[in-house]
A and B are shown apart, each in its own frame.
Chain A
């Protein structure tokens, strides 16, 4: 299916079953204009010629407000009884909002920063690898070198101090396994995920082209990432916009770990005695259908104490952080997150792990708010603890 869809045609196919009321933000806001079904109704009004002027004005306000209250968690699309491509529809409505100058200032600022600096923080490209220095790693021999595998670090792991354990863990895992790999360093551009989620198709496409070019130059055949946003971009969006040119195999760190354990290139050396639970990131499980590799890895831990969250795999609750919601309605993020935190608390786990920096951030915040004594770590950190040599 191409990038653009006929939103009105699809909207007219909605059968009003209401199954999409699973929407995490609608559950909090409760007015039906935030219900995915209600958004569909507004799309019909907005795109149908002949809607009266005064109504049209009100519709655009209401529709754009609702579309930016969405976390892009894809729960609606996955449950839609007639398989409407709701995410594509939502992205297109966000594009329409851009065209009409209806993005909010924070969103616009992120977009402009990313456009100019190729990362979502607006920081210099030279600082992409600063995290390595901070954790005492030297990646000079790995940067922009020919290798079959590239580690795509992603903006959050590269620039956010809070995420520093993620790249440090991934590199430790890769080094342990002795697989040759490269990183793109200054030439790594944002994967484009936030830009696509905001509805910025053409800028996102230049990012995709650039990253592909760099990977090709280095002879990369496989790419690994620990970020579910990057993973989704490579797995779902790049093939859509680059077509067959995008022939690089995409792996999440959990998939690669599973493979390395099976090939005996990695070995579980340590036990984890704490009780673990796992939050499936929406972008992995619902967008990309990836849920089992981490569970397979966890299963291999001797005497592991693992408990699933009550809502897991396809039914996983959204953490509230997706779809750039923070930029549009930070309060709503907290409300959505609260439901997830209740489930996390229910498991009485000591460690909650996940495969997405955004989830990590929102869960850490939620745990702090509740005063939960729970460690919130990325899966790469968990895997590192399993395979590293004891100091």
Chain B
């Protein structure tokens, strides 16, 4: 079903050339990083009815006004690099492409902040900031493509999170056009935290003020562990030395890396620890605390000649996919405590073919990005089945206190697991108040009803389907 004529006319009238619905463009906007197998088409109507590329706040307000009048869903989207289905339609609607927004970058070196458009890609903003001798604090490993808006809206973490926290911890102020067309500028954490991780369900982010820091060089050390249990023990100690980043690779991932980049890393769990170091004493302190941590936590020190090389590929690990015909990914957050048990199980799942990389996001947790590579192009059915198995694997993480990384569509219904019950309550109150018709990104965060079985939610359907799969 395409847009009703009346609705389409309204969009055209109010947005002019910033509204388009040529067939090809609709196809181009119908996916995110996780390609939908054709088997899901029955459930998910992911081809949008139109695309809006707003240039300014007025365009966004017009879009929401028309959407409210015509009850057409609006789906905020930026670079489309997230794989949680947040930026694709669930039941058609019009994509609101935030990359049309442009604004000046205002750096306040004394306040250590930058005011910027959410359409900015991390690498570009960072290039600009580096010219001024300052730097962002945290970067997703999709550094070269992800936008600030998408990162915040999906509630991301990244390189640097061990020291500086997640998306929420970077924001000093955030401007949003709410679905009721009101323009708000939130500066209090309790308001900001509702926007972070809201996946566009509370409107389109239009400006952000982010914390910045001086551009301090990093020093790296590496170590290896023989087993998930040793890794767990080691991570506990390493997280306590307050590093900038801790990057974890499982043996299978290490083997792939050796192949792809010509490394000769040992076939164990490899951990790279990076620390901001401004002067010599700091560097020797880092080495001393790292060495002590290894003594306390166990593990073997990795030859220094490897560490810079590993750091250089921080934003390039997807390169390893190039020798394969197909791949699947999923992600979750795990508590360091008890992670050994879960990781031990992972080692035997999927015939030992699962590989992963993790990023410590605070003293107690790390994110885990799971990969499966295939030598053949998967048929839609096979892809669906393996995807469901992967989903089930992620869900097993709950047993040790883990939870999905973000909601989007695929993990809709898990907001309270990620952010807690109290925040979920406040989120729902705000959603009801500003978007009573559920115009902004329906089907995301709160699990939607399944179109062909409206009695059950998408979350429930996925759960059942994944448990039916052996």
Contact = CB atoms under 8 A, between A and B. Distances in A.
A16 B24 contact: no
A62 B24 contact: yes
Contacts of B146: 18
B282 interface: no
A49 B411 CA distance: 34
A42 B28 contact: yes
A42 B28 CA distance: 7
A283 to B, nearest CB: 22
A18 B31 CA distance: 12
B322 interface: yes
B350 interface: no
Contacts of B127: 310-311, 315
B35 interface: yes
Give the contact-size bracket for chain B.
35 or more
Contacts of A22: 123, 144
Contact of A41 (B22, B27, B121): B27
Contacts of B29: 32
Interface string A72-111: 0000000101110000000000000000000000000000
B319 interface: yes
Interface string A1-25: 0000000000011011111111000
A59 B144 contact: no
Contacts of A21: 79, 121, 144-145
A17 B145 CA distance: 7
A21 B131 CA distance: 21
Given A31-B20, A82-B322, A83-B322, A45 B27 contact: yes
B113 interface: no
A30 interface: yes
Nearest to B27: A45
Interface in B83-136: 97, 99-100, 121, 123, 127, 131
A22 B145 CA distance: 8
A65 to B, nearest CB: 10
A32 B97 contact: yes
B25 A33 contact: yes
A15 B377 CA distance: 13
Identify the 5 closest CB pairs spanning chains A and B, nearest first: A18-B145, A82-B322, A62-B24, A19-B144, A58-B23
Interface of B: 20, 22-25, 27-29, 31-33, 35, 51, 53, 79-81, 97, 99-100, 121, 123, 127, 131, 142, 144-146, 316, 318-319, 321-322, 325, 327, 377
21 contacts: A15-B33, A15-B321, A16-B31, A17-B142, A17-B318, A18-B79, A18-B144, A19-B144, A19-B145, A31-B20, A31-B25, A32-B80, A38-B28, A41-B28, A58-B23, A63-B24, A82-B318, A82-B319, A82-B322, A310-B127, A315-B127
